[in-house]
Chains A and B, each alone.
Chain A
């Protein structure tokens, strides 16, 4: 059987999927990156091999903010930005989709699709309010698990009105509302409303959101946010079964039409890979140069704006 590997190295989580030629997901993993993308990737590879045996990979696609790193480690045939990858997988599962709302660990996206083609998109650029990291932080502060947040929000009777322009102000406003005596459910529901308003103000201004809407990315796990979106827009938000790994699926789908794969093989899971970095002092730009080392051999290097360090690898 022909199988394809999709890798999405995000800011907070690392996603790996294995699909067949029709795009059916055979295996998937969703793990915290914990600041160590290489290790996260290696452990996902080891788990995949344990579960699936030595499958023969016909193509590899990478996406996410760590797409380049993943490419250097695994050997990718397609290195694609998150917007394209998310759009490709959404269209694959729901061909008539017209809007994608994607909220991940540290960034959020809005993608508009008409006739199966991306026509417009926006990404958060200045503010991380409404992303997974912020929700997680607030859940921890309220002493509840991230998984309970949505359920609590749904049981609220009158959501508190919380300022959502900026994460710092949202947090202080939440503290204020707690001190005024609002109950936990109303505060959590108010937080969901505030984050949805923030998303719509930052990303959706002047954009036409029409259904079917797909809601994907890690935050789609939160029914409170989903309900707040639906209330605000009066549209149904569809959460696909594989919502957290849609980007990785998109990358794998894109890798289907490759000839001979550049995949480096399963041995990368056992390699002694490490990264190191230094600041080049040849000019005042002081670029931070990143190196990936296999034992003591440099296998990839980037980060320099003039290109003189990157060239050495070839």
Chain B
């Protein structure tokens, strides 16, 4: 059995090496390219969202490369996503692919995740299952930490592109840390790598909080590398959605850290009292949180046809009007025009800068 899982940001880096150690024959999909997207678009229902199409393209390319089993999160999902695995399976079968498909049925129960790991690997012992799962989670947290460092250093870098190279190297180093001990030894050196990037120390960049649908926020291929683009415009990104946070908040691995989801829900009260699916309530709550923290504005991104985020977008526009807080919503799909995205990002960063300093600097 050669197992593949569709990509989502750096998630595959967190688990591939670990699962391989436990005897899972992993075949990650090749990094998404225009070809991946075209394949996905060609075989997807038109009004399925961009994540569905990219997932499907990932699956097809992985199967073409020799994978014969797919693991797809699903179950009673946060939105239509819950059905995606089932529909993708049907599409792939109709295309003539032969494979085994498993979907996780109950994404809220940790034991189900552990069972999934035991199901696909040589790990039979439950406590080993937990240990592996935690290691993957810690690796994900390390990758997220490196990404957050990237967000800080990128707009301040003096030599354009240097921070990108450091992030790439950091991901490689974290990937090689395949035990708890190695991981803990690695993190200080990752920080040191970023600290060695020459930066403009006095520069105070405009800050933008990124919120929205989790896949589009986390996957650079889906959002046309929006974080890199903003960094190049010398804007500091504060991302409000992290994979490791999502897991932490669900399963409380870090009991002394404030549960971000619960806190966002509390802040959202009055604007949105019940979850409307997906990350809608987090989007609303964290918009208010970003304003509280003094982040200059919020960039809200979502796939075209995303119902939960559409609800959130109406509400955060109201927040924007009520409180005079800048919010820009953008939708992504296969038809998105990069030139249009760049123009809007530039105009938004000018807007924020002008609000803060009363003038526009030279970029």
Instruction: Please report A residues at the B interface, Cβ cutoff 8 Å.
Output: 65, 77-84, 88, 107, 117-121, 123, 125-126, 206, 208, 254, 257-258, 283-286, 305, 307
Contact = CB atoms under 8 A, between A and B. Distances in A.
A291 B344 CA distance: 25
A284 B335 CA distance: 18
Interface in B4-54: 33-36
Contacts of A286: 34
Contact of B347 (A118, A125, A257, A283): A118
Given A83-B347, A258-B362, A284 B34 contact: yes
23 contacts: A77-B362, A80-B350, A81-B347, A81-B350, A83-B347, A83-B350, A84-B346, A84-B350, A88-B360, A117-B355, A118-B347, A118-B354, A119-B324, A120-B326, A120-B351, A121-B344, A121-B347, A123-B340, A123-B344, A126-B335, A208-B321, A257-B362, A307-B161
Nearest to B351: A118
Contacts of A254: 360
B362 A84 contact: no
B362 A123 contact: no
A284 B337 CA distance: 19
B299 to A, nearest CB: 13
Interface string B116-149: 0000000000000000000000000000000000
Contact of A81 (B35, B161, B326, B343): B343
A258 B34 CA distance: 40
Contacts of B320: 120
A206 B161 CA distance: 39
B339 interface: yes
Contacts of A258: 362
Nearest to B338: A305
B343 A83 contact: yes
B337 A121 contact: no
Interface residues of B, number: 30
Given A84-B360, A284-B35, A125 B340 contact: yes
Given A258-B362, A284-B35, 20 more contacts: A65-B343, A79-B363, A80-B346, A82-B343, A83-B343, A83-B344, A83-B350, A84-B350, A117-B351, A117-B355, A118-B354, A119-B326, A119-B351, A121-B347, A123-B343, A125-B340, A126-B335, A206-B314, A257-B362, A307-B161
A120 B339 CA distance: 19
B320 to A, nearest CB: 8
Q: Which 9 A-B pairs have the closest CB atoms?
A: A83-B347, A284-B35, A81-B346, A284-B33, A84-B350, A81-B343, A285-B33, A118-B351, A285-B34
Contacts of A79: 363
Contacts of B343: 65, 81-83, 123
A206 B350 contact: no
Nearest to A114: B324
Interface in B308-340: 314, 317, 320-321, 324, 326, 331, 335, 337, 339-340
Given A123-B340, A284-B35, A78 B347 contact: no
Contacts of B225: 305
Contacts of B326: 119-120
A65 B337 CA distance: 12
A135 to B, nearest CB: 21
Nearest to B336: A125
Contacts of B339: 65
A286 B320 CA distance: 40
Contacts of A125: 331, 337, 340
Contacts of B340: 107, 123, 125
Nearest to B161: A307
A121 B342 CA distance: 14
Contacts of A119: 324, 326, 351, 355
Contacts of B34: 284-286
B350 A118 contact: yes
Contacts of B354: 117-118
A181 B279 CA distance: 53
B7 to A, nearest CB: 15
Contacts of B161: 307
A208 B35 CA distance: 42
A67 B351 CA distance: 19
Contact of B362 (A78, A82, A120): A78
Contacts of B35: 284-285
Contacts of A284: 33-36
Nearest to B34: A285
Contacts of B331: 125
Interface centre among A65, A117, A120, A254 (most CB of B within 10 A): A120
A286 B33 CA distance: 9
Interface in B67-82: none
